[in-house]
Amino acid sequence: MTSSVQNESNDNWLKQGYNHFIDIANKITLAIEDGINIAVTSKYNPLYYHGALPQFYLWVLFLSGLLLFAYYVPTIDNAYLSNRLINAWTSVQYITNSIPFGGVIRGIHRYAGDAMVLFIFLHAIRVWFTDRYRQYRWIQWVSGVVLLLMVLFIGQTGYYLVWDERSLLLTRMTVSALEALPIIGAPLKAWFLNGDTITNLTLSNFLFIHIGLSFALLFVLWLHYVRMTRPVITPPPAVNFVLVGILLLAVFLVPITSGKMADLNSQPNTYEVDWFFLFNYWLMSHMSLAVFWVSMTAAAVIATILPWLVKNVSPPVIPAEVVISKCTGCSLCYRDCPYQAIEMVPAPAGSRFKLLATVNIPRCSSCGICVGACAFDAIDLPQLPDANVLSEIKTFAEAK
Amino acid sequence: MAQSKPVITLVCERAADLNSLLDSKGNLAEMPDVHVVKFPCSGMIQPLMIEAALKAGAGGVIVCGCQIGDCYYREGNKMIRDRLLGERPPGLKKATDRRRIMALWLSRMQKQRFIAESKEFIYRVQALDIQEGISAGNKASANPAPTVAAKPAVTAPTAAPVVDSSSTSTPTAATTSAPAAAKPTIRPPTTATTPATEKSSSTPEAESDKTSST
């Protein structure tokens, strides 16, 4: 008995501390947004499009990537083709230096990737601080974690594709990290290198992973949006222009260049870290591989189950209820529900109407927007029936 | 203020945090004529509730949601905004006096702003009451002429037989006569009620705009 009380108070202490932290974080987030609203009005506040920003950069990446793909040659050497060396590194050099605006396209592709990761983190932090990732939104959070991991991995394969000394070093580091894994390590290494050693096939595998996973992003994005009615996936054009402007500024101020061509006989050991994509290689070189894998896995698992670790911050969801005798099947609540929690089904036999609204309970957020959409009092939140609200309003208005 | 009509505030519990301003009965401690009803989301507010409040004798209704663009439930404040503007069903009846409705879009910390806007709104509503009291004289010969002058865009519903000086007329009379009444496009000089829903009245620009029009 005493131990359970002890546990409870510990639990409360932790819970209170967490709630306090989220409360302050929430206030700071809202204060920043209020400030931006004063400057640019809420219509153009980029923080109100925090989910659409990475999506916008994804389109930029697709387009610029398509242009790069036209000239990229995914090989290490081409001994049998000509006496002039044509490989991944030289094709990237050709794109950068010889094709009109090739360097600009390459720069856009690199910096748009960085920006995408940056805005994904912004997006994640905002939904965390404003408590918009749990309960009926768990599928968005979990698919979001998967998307982030995919984006990070796609970005890393992009760094291998350039095939300069950094690419070679990163490839070797990845191979040694994979080899350290028990059981699945060897097959993963074979898959990664497309063979036992680095060959021409390795580069074509990298290109396949880079492009193939990018398209797989679209499938996970579908999961990310599937329960959202009217997902906000496009920022207003004015914001888009600013986003592209910032990108071009970075491209022209800090042009992207390759390092020296990778030489399989050399042993490069230093490289420039891109903190958006390559931070895990930095971690890898500062700890043992066992610690690295355990901590990476733990971080991914904790991030994934975060919605279930945090509880009781907001009240539990009590789903809306349809009053079957009043529902006319007009579909207004179905159209307005922001979580697609209302489904229109054929009305029961003997009804005067064709359709009947039903609540899909796991999706319901108990926000009451369906109540606001209903002109027939036919849908209600059990904890706050609209009849009670109406009588409260009338009592006060008539008392005076 | 003692003789003024009650004002109902329908507020999202995640918008302007009014908890510290309320007395035990759910009225604003500073302005006991203002009763606050909290909702999980401003999207839950039915236009029906606003009409019922005005019909029951409320002087005005304040709707308060979060800043447009930010809704915990994604779209609630946009929904009620569009409903008030007549852009999304169900809307207000055409005869409903839009001057007695104010919508505010305020984030959690902006309770001072809520107080300031509410005070101004109450003065406007009281001015309306006085105006209508003079013009009506007695209820039997209700003549809403000054109201018409004050609100050019919404002439038709007020010109239609207004039974009560609290200007909730019969819906049929209004719907037959006033197709343009649903959206007041011209801002009347004395009011910034429904048009306030069009712009986020939480920005100082909206504030300066409003004062300049007075």
Full DSSP string of B9-72: EEEETTSS--GGGB-TTSBBSS-TTEEEEEES-GGG--HHHHHHHHHTT-SEEEEEESPTT--T
Length of chain A measured in residues = 400
A33 neighbourhood in chain B, CB within 8 Å: 67, 70, 107
Which of B11, B19, B46, B81 has the highest number of chain A CBs within 10 A, making it the mutation to test binding with A? B46
Q: Which residues pair with A261 in a beta bridge?
A: A164
Give backbone dihedrals phi and psi of A217, rounded to 5 degrees, phi first.
Answer: -55, -35
pLDDT at B109 (0 to 100): 87
HSE-up of A71 (CA within 13 Å, CB side)? 21
* Residue A12 CB partners (closer than 8 Å, separation 6+): none
Q: Distance (Å, rounded) from C-alpha B49 to C-alpha A385?
A: 12
B212 pLDDT above the threshold of 80? no
Q: How far is A184 from chain B (nearest CA, A)?
A: 42
Predicted ipTM > 0.85: no
Positive or negative torsion for Cα A173, A179, A184, A188:
positive
Mean pLDDT (whole number) for B143-169: 34
Please give, one letter per residue, the 3-state secondary structure of A91-111.
HHHHHHHCCCCHHHHHHHHHH
Which of B9, B75, B110 has the highest number of chain A CBs within 10 A, making it the mutation to test binding with A? B75
Of A115, A91, A78, A85, the C-alpha closest to A258 is: A91
C-beta of residue B51 within 8 angstroms of C-beta of residue A337: no
Q: Which residues pair with B105 in a beta bridge?
A: B65
Q: How far is B135 from chain A (nearest CA, A)?
A: 23
- The residue ranges of every structural domain in chain A are 12-309, 321-399
Q: Give the tens place of pLDDT for each residue, A115-153.
A: 999 999 999 999 998 888 888 889 999 999 999 999 999
Residue A244 burial by CB count (10 A; 0-12/13-18/19+): exposed, middle or buried? Answer: middle
Which has the minimum average pLDDT: A17-21, A153-157, A249-253?
A17-21
Q: Distance (Å, rounded) from C-alpha A74 to C-alpha A91?
A: 9
pLDDT at B26 (0 to 100): 83
Which of B51, B70, B80 has the highest number of chain A CBs within 10 A, making it the mutation to test binding with A? B70
At the second CATH level, the architecture of A12-309 is Up-down Bundle (1.20)
Give the 3-state secondary structure of residue B79: helix
pLDDT at B142 (0 to 100): 40
Of B113, B72, B79, the C-alpha closest to A48 is: B72
pLDDT at B171 (0 to 100): 34
A365 pLDDT above the threshold of 70? yes
Partner-chain contact A372 B75, CB within 8 Å? no
Number of A to B CB contacts under 8 A, please give it.
143
Q: Distance (Å, rounded) from C-alpha B130 to C-alpha B189?
A: 16
Q: Output the six-digit token pair for A269.
A: 């050991």
Residue B69: CB atoms within 10 A of its CB come to 20
Of B17, B11, B80, the C-alpha closest to A30 is: B17
Which has the minimum average pLDDT: A77-86, A178-187, A368-377, B103-112?
A77-86
**Chain A nearest-CA residue for B57:** A397
Whole-number percent of chain B with pLDDT over 70: 62
The partner residue sitting opposite A48, judged by closest CB among B35, B70, B80, is: B70
A281 pLDDT above the threshold of 60? yes
Give the 3-state secondary structure of residue A14: helix
Residue B156: CB atoms within 10 A of its CB come to 18
Q: Is A143 on the interface with B (CB under 8 A)?
A: no
Mean pLDDT (whole number) for B68-75: 89
Partner-chain contact A367 B67, CB within 8 Å? no
* Residue A130 CB partners (closer than 8 Å, separation 6+): A26, A29, A30, B72
Of A90, A75, A66, A65, the C-alpha closest to A194 is: A75
B210 pLDDT above the threshold of 60? no
Cis peptide before B90 (omega within 30 of 0): yes
pLDDT at A145 (0 to 100): 95
Mean pLDDT (whole number) for A208-227: 94
DSSP string, B98-157: GGGEEEEE--TTTHHHHHHHHHHHHHHHHHHHHHHHHHHSSSTT---HHHHHH-GGGHHH
Which has the minimum average pLDDT: A351-355, A394-398, B179-183?
B179-183
Q: Distance (Å, rounded) from C-alpha A143 to C-alpha A132?
A: 14
B2 pLDDT above the threshold of 50? no
Who wins on pLDDT, A50 or B148?
A50
B74 neighbourhood in chain A, CB within 8 Å: 228-229, 338-339
C-beta of residue A165 within 8 angstroms of C-beta of residue A260: yes
C-beta of residue B76 within 8 angstroms of C-beta of residue A366: no
pLDDT at A285 (0 to 100): 87
**Chain B nearest-CA residue for A137:** B73
pLDDT at B203 (0 to 100): 40
C-beta of residue A126 within 8 angstroms of C-beta of residue A118: no
Positive or negative torsion for Cα A99, A101, A107, A109:
negative
Q: Give the tens place of pLDDT for each residue, B90-125.
A: 988 888 888 999 999 998 888 889 999 999 999 999
A47 pLDDT above the threshold of 60? yes
Partner-chain contact A397 B57, CB within 8 Å? yes
Name the helix (H) or strand (E) containing A343. strand A342-346
pLDDT at B169 (0 to 100): 32
CATH class of domain segment(s) A321-399:
alpha beta
C-beta of residue A263 within 8 angstroms of C-beta of residue A112: no
pLDDT at A162 (0 to 100): 92
The partner residue sitting opposite A372, judged by closest CB among B46, B109, B203, is: B46
C-beta of residue B98 within 8 angstroms of C-beta of residue B39: no
Q: Is A371 on the interface with B (CB under 8 A)?
A: yes
B153 pLDDT above the threshold of 70? no
A75 pLDDT above the threshold of 70? yes
Q: Residue A80 — pLDDT band, cuts 50, 70, 90?
A: low
C-beta of residue B95 within 8 angstroms of C-beta of residue B169: yes
Highest mean pLDDT among A14-18, A127-131, A132-136, A293-297: A293-297
- Averaged confidence pLDDT in chain B: 69
Residue B134: CB atoms within 10 A of its CB come to 9
HSE-up of A35 (CA within 13 Å, CB side)? 6
Q: Residue B141 — pLDDT band, cuts 50, 70, 90?
A: very low
Interior/surface letters B23-59, b for 16+ CB within 10 angstroms, e for the rest: eeeebbeebebbbbbbbbbbbbbbbbbbbbbbbbbbb
pLDDT at B207 (0 to 100): 38
pLDDT at B85 (0 to 100): 92
Q: Output the six-digit token pair for A254.
A: 């800090």
State the pairing for strand pair A342-346/A355-359.
antiparallel
C-beta of residue A171 within 8 angstroms of C-beta of residue A198: yes
Q: How far is B138 from chain A (nearest CA, A)?
A: 20
C-beta of residue A113 within 8 angstroms of C-beta of residue A276: yes
Partner-chain contact A48 B35, CB within 8 Å? no
pLDDT at B206 (0 to 100): 38
The partner residue sitting opposite B76, judged by closest CB among A132, A228, A367, is: A367
* Residue B82 CB partners (closer than 8 Å, separation 6+): B88
Mean pLDDT (whole number) for A181-189: 92
Residue A28 Cα distances to A71, A121, A295, angstroms: 47, 17, 30
Whole-number percent of chain A with pLDDT over 90: 51
Partner-chain contact A30 B89, CB within 8 Å? no
CA A16 remoteness from chain centre:
29
Mean pLDDT (whole number) for B131-156: 47
B182 pLDDT above the threshold of 70? no
Q: Distance (Å, rounded) from C-alpha A373 to C-alpha B88?
A: 9
Mean pLDDT (whole number) for A239-253: 93
B27 neighbourhood in chain A, CB within 8 Å: 396
pLDDT at A99 (0 to 100): 92
B147 pLDDT above the threshold of 80? no
- Averaged confidence pLDDT in chain A: 88
